[in-house]
Structure 1
Amino acid sequence: MIAAIALAFSFLTATAQAKVLELHRGVGVHEWLNWSPVNEDGTYIWPPYRAEQEWLDSFRKGTVSKGENEFQRIRSMGFDFVRLSVDPGPLVSSEGTKRKEALAILSKAVKRITASGLRVVFDLHGVNQVPATSMKLIYDGADSEGVARYRAMVKEVAGMLVKVGTDKVAIEPYNEPAYYPCDASGTDDWQRIMEATVADIRSVSGDLTIIATGACGGGVKGLLNLKPGFDDPNIYYSFHMYEPHDFTHQRSETKGGFASGMPWPASTSTPEAVRKALEARIDAAGLSRAEKRANLAEADPLIAKYFAENWGEKQLDARFEQALGWAKTNAIPSERLFMGEFGAILMTADGRMGADDADRIRYLTAVRRSAEKAGIPWSIWEYANTYGMSVIVPKENAVPDMNMLGALGLMRQ
């Protein structure tokens, strides 16, 4: 009994003395270990996850020289950590020897990154390709069997990461959880899930940094609804910044539709100018009159709403002030907030979606500066994809987007 008490005391003392893994400027790596390949019957191909070379070939298209290291490349751009998105599906769907096999693959991947001098935020990032192991697994309440399974998996992941080294990695057990609404009319299920998950991880290690998050998609509103009674000095509190969404995610709900060209800030243009430019892009695409009318009917209310809200740095600063106010109220240093994602879609070559590059750059610069002014570490979404939210230019040669890196205060031409 005395030995057990001594052990518990030493664990609490270690937790009290621990501090968060130092993070400053990061980038999301999403396409490598997420969307783990599946068979035709919906089961995971085993062993799971893509090989690093398969991920590289998806955007480097054979341009990788022998001996070249993509993570050293990321480091050379000025990033100090990678937020590594990992599909939890293969882990949740397996146990015993198979789960250990999956964890070994992930351990090797994390070590591959940390060997380049980068730190890693290990982001368990649920996706929907296999419904039984999607984020729906955790949406039946804090006491559900699905939550119990997920939490047990998180503990094993934490154990794997501790072996990699708590001076190199942090764990983010949930990405953009739902559990709406985030106000007094909602339940306390998410609060209980987050509290219990922190306790699970702490039963494994007091030194492993945790990235905790609020509900409602992981935005500022969800953070404000989170009660950090489980806090210790080794926890970051995450929020994602995609506000205003009508700017950051400009795309039509209609297949092949047009929704693009909103300015940043709104005061730099007018609704009439945005509509006229959109019409020109639609005309250039050769759409029929009926298609043009349908596109404009969808776009007009979005344009009107955006300009009525008059989004700019004042509203952006107000969102950050909400997060900072939450931290101050809860006696949490602003440096332990964590802006885990931000970004904006770049306008596509056909003009169907996204923001003009100059507007996108002004927005990214404003968001990054607001975070850094408060000492908040950040991670841009993301390193390489074909959807225009990419540090690597989504075209033939995999070269860095120098305008984007400049907006992030990193490499400049």
Structure 2
Amino acid sequence: MTSRRSVLGGLTGMAALAAFPGMQATRAASDDIPLFRRGIGVSHALGWAEVEADGSYVAAPFSGPRFRFDLAQRQAIRAAGFDFVRLAVDPGPFLAFTGAARDQVDALLIGIVRGLVEADLGVIVDLHPSAMNPAYRPAALTAGVETPNFQAVLGLLRRVAHRLEQSGQGRAVTGAPRLALELMNEPELSQSAWQPMLEAAYRAARSGSATLPLVLGGGAMNAAAALTQIDMRPFAGDARLIYTYHDYSPWQFTHQGVRGNPAYALNAVTYPAPQSAEAMIAASQRRIGSLGLDGAALEQARQAKRTLARYAGFDRSALERTFRQISAWRIAQRLPAHAILLGEFGIHRTPYLDTPEGAAARETWLRDMRELAEAHGFAWACWTYAGTGGFALAENETGPGFDVSTRRALGLLR
């Protein structure tokens, strides 16, 4: 259920700030937005709400065993060295329920936020639509500003922003903020189509709280290029904003084996990519033959295999181009480096990635992404902590802790 669709705000001391370039010069800004540093997505607690056979939500949509998010897990996240959690929240039940049922899911959300803060973790509450209930799938919620579903989303943003502000968990002892609200995860539409909805979502959240830090993305599945195309004029003068993008490049490597993705039929794709794609192409051809694909699915698999020739030679320098583009944009916008959040990056695990070669490639990619984010002064949140689906970072997909290679890649070994 944790496929791609599938804060410690009180850090003090120059030593902690020195690890992130440019932070000393923007220290005063920490009174406006959290100094999030190293985070992890938590998608199994309030994501992918449980539904009945007809698609409607069960009475307690986050109560099954797979939603368990206990004290041991929260403490393990903090003990590993993460300082914040990006909490994925399926908005469907919050939109569908009324009366006492709605009050119960609201209270559940605030309770989980409180538990995370008590574990010394900052929190980004991330509205993260799922396709579990067709009426509240991502595309249905972002069909246009005036649509009933999006108007309901605006009401939810107002409500959640207000409740987070009133929760009493918003600031650390130092006075620095430690909560934020992310307006929408990965809108499935272009930046230009998302812009008016982004502005409406921003206004709605601000009407719920004038001070709560907000996280904004550019649409187009939170692509980096979409972030740099945002019309910033509606947000001018608001220093309590964090700007986010997601990066899973190269998709041939990070999404190999993901059902529904063009990389589903790829296999033994490594990183950094060798100069010759011959071995990767041969391994992928064998996988295509074993899957028994036909028709459009077979053609998509063949097209994906052909992209491996272009992928050959891909390395850290190719990853860094995106970081440089985002840095240039944030400098032009006069934003502090810690106002940029690499909100998701991760790798789908396959049998190949459990081989010595694949495990080394996974560790190298995670390390490169993490080190590049930190070198540019960006906060980061890897995807995701626990759950089925192949992207879980916790040991054995459940944790509570993490294996050594993951901790090493993310700079969490002490």
TM-score (norm 1): 0.81
CA shift, 1:376, in A, is: 0.3
Larger Rg: 1
Match of 1:261 in 2: 268
Distance 2:385 2:87 in 1: 10
Distance 1:367 1:350 in 2: 17
Asked if the contact 1:85–1:123 (Cα under 8 Å) also holds between the matched residues in 2, the reply is yes
Distance 1:388 1:238 in 2: 23
Match of 2:3 in 1: none
Asked if the contact 2:252–2:266 (Cα under 8 Å) also holds between the matched residues in 1, the reply is no
Asked if the contact 1:142–1:190 (Cα under 8 Å) also holds between the matched residues in 2, the reply is no
Residue pairs, 1:259-338, within 5 angstroms: 259-266=266-273, 268=274, 270-278=276-284, 287=290, 301-309=303-311, 310-338=313-341
CA shift, 1:347, in A, is: 2.6
Distance 2:258 2:101 in 1: 42
RCO (CA 8 Å, sep 6+): is it higher in 1 or 2?
2
Q: 1:38 to 1:252 in 2, by over 3 A?
A: closer
Q: 1:386 to 1:339 in 2, by over 3 A?
A: same
Superposed CA deviations along residues 10-37 of structure 1, whole A, max 9, x for unmatched, are xxxxxx9951022110111111211111
Distance 2:310 2:409 in 1: 27
Alignment length, in residue pairs? 373
User: Over aligned residue pairs, what C-alpha RMSD do you find?
Assistant: 3.2
**Which stretch shows the higher mean deviation, 31-40 or 79-88?**
31-40
Distance 2:88 2:225 in 1: 23
CA shift, 1:386, in A, is: 3.1
Q: 1:208 to 1:350 in 2, by over 3 A?
A: closer
Q: 1:271 to 1:169 in 2, by over 3 A?
A: same
Letter in 2 for 1:391: L
Distance 2:147 2:299 in 1: 44
Residue pairs, 1:3-402, within 5 angstroms: 19-50=32-63, 54-56=66-68, 69-164=72-167, 165-167=169-171, 168-180=178-190, 182=191, 187=192, 189-229=193-233, 230-231=235-236, 232-251=238-257, 258-266=265-273, 268=274, 270-278=276-284, 287=290, 301-309=303-311, 310-348=313-351, 356-394=358-396, 399-402=401-404
TM-score (norm 2): 0.81
% same residue? 28
CA shift, 1:227, in A, is: 1.6
CA shift, 1:210, in A, is: 0.4
Asked if the contact 1:33–1:50 (Cα under 8 Å) also holds between the matched residues in 2, the reply is no
Q: 1:94 to 1:318 in 2, by over 3 A?
A: same
CA shift, 1:275, in A, is: 3.5
Letter in 1 for 2:327: L
Distance 2:260 2:212 in 1: 44
CA shift, 1:298, in A, is: 6.5
Distance 2:195 2:107 in 1: 31
List runs of 5+ in structure 1 lacking aligned partners.
1-15, 58-63
List runs of 5+ in structure 2 lacking aligned partners.
1-28, 172-177
